[in-house]
């Protein structure tokens, strides 16, 4: 297989994983809005603009549908403009949550949700390059680093929350264990479980910035999906939007894996035995 073909395949696989993650996230927003749970942007309308609840819900529904249309356009014909619109909208939602608070560790919102608004931006290098540069190293390097920084910050922030005994995490452990096993652990037992979880999360976040080992990325995919699904196991099936909202947490590592399959080997040992062409392998 030629280097150009391998590069195109890596970019295509990573692009599809990112686009699917973005669409799933927006579907989670739509499900949340239509379940009348509201958004932080709606809180801004209520608290600062004096909008009524009915008006807020109407605007939120139309805006959510419009955002879904933009996200679906990334599947049909991905554009830089659509990626920027989704990213900016999600960032506005995160900023609204940060401003109005109302929950534990809400001041960490920009860190814990960074991958949600960086994922659409990671798509840009993969779709913006001219067709005569399908194998340009910067495409893979830029996209991979955006995702690596994003998921490293997410894992580090969640690890710190675990080490600080986030009450929400304690509830997830207690609720999931009770629903799945019938045994209800005590709060002290849940706190004890959070210690190794926090240490592992912070450790893998640091390791991801050093290299892209397959085992590390596989663990991040698994743990990201498991923690997303813990919202359902702890709170019931109707919490499924929470799994969709966290799609980038388990699909972004897979996209990094796809990009690591071309150009840069996933470990130093593999780097010594990989393809010899320097221009093809050095995209960090």
Give residue 101's pLDDT: 67
pLDDT band per the 50, 70, 90 thresholds, residue 135: low
Query: What percent of the chain clears pLDDT 90, i.e. is strictly above it?
Result: 63
For residue 52, the tally of other CB atoms under 10 A from its CB is 10
Which has more confidence, 263 or 55?
A: 55
Give residue 35's pLDDT: 87
pLDDT band per the 50, 70, 90 thresholds, residue 129: low
For the entire predicted model, the pTM comes to 0.86
* In the predicted structure, residue 239 carries a pLDDT above the cut 80: yes
Average pLDDT of span 64-72: 96
Q: Rounded mean pLDDT of the chain? A: 86
Give residue 9's pLDDT: 80
Q: Where are the domains of the chain?
A: 3-281
Average pLDDT of span 151-155: 97
* Predicted confidence (pLDDT) per residue in 189-210, tens digit: 999 999 999 999 999 999 999 9
pLDDT band per the 50, 70, 90 thresholds, residue 162: very high
Buried b (16+ CB within 10 A) or exposed e, 249-266: bbbbbbbbbbbbbbbbbb
* Predicted confidence (pLDDT) per residue in 166-197, tens digit: 999 999 999 999 999 999 999 999 999 999 99
For residue 107, the tally of other CB atoms under 10 A from its CB is 10
Can you point out the beta strands (E) in the chain? none
Give residue 272's pLDDT: 42
The stretches of 236-277 forming alpha helices (DSSP H) are: 240-245, 247-260, 268-273
* Predicted confidence (pLDDT) per residue in 26-53, tens digit: 999 999 998 877 787 777 777 777 788 7
Helix then strand then coil, in percent of the chain rounded to 5, is 80, 0, 20
Q: What residues contact residue 81 under an 8 Å CB cut-off, 6+ apart?
A: none
């Amino acid at each position: 297989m030629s280097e150009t073909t391998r590069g195109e395949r890596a970019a295509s696989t990573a692009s599809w994983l990112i686009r699917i993650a973005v669409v799933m996230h927006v579907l989670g927003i739509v499900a949340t809005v239509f379940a009348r749970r509201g958004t932080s942007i709606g809180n801004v309308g209520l608290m600062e603009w004096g909008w009524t609840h009915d008006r807020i819900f109407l605007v939120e529904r139309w805006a959510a549908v419009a955002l879904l249309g933009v996200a679906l356009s990334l599947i049909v014909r991905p554009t830089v403009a659509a990626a920027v619109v989704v990213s900016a909208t999600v960032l506005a939602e995160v900023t609204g949550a940060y401003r109005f608070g109302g929950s534990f560790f809400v001041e960490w919102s920009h860190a814990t949700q960074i991958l949600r608004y960086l994922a659409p931006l990671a798509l840009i290098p993969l779709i913006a390059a001219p067709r005569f540069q399908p194998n340009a190293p910067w495409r893979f390097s830029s996209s991979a680093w955006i995702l690596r920084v994003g998921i490293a910050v997410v894992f580090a922030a969640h690890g710190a929350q675990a080490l600080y005994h986030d009450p929400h995490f304690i509830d997830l452990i207690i609720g999931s264990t009770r629903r799945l096993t019938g045994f209800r652990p005590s709060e002290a037992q849940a706190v004890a479980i959070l210690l190794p979880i926090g240490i592992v999360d912070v450790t893998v976040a640091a390791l991801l910035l050093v290299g892209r080992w397959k085992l590390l990325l596989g663990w991040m995919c698994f743990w990201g999906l498991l923690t997303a699904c813990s919202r359902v196991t702890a709170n019931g099936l109707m919490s499924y939007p929470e799994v969709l909202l966290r799609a980038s947490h388990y699909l972004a590592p897979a996209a990094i894996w796809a990009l690591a399959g071309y150009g840069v080997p996933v470990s130093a040992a593999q780097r010594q035995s990989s393809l010899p062409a320097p221009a093809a392998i050095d995209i960090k």
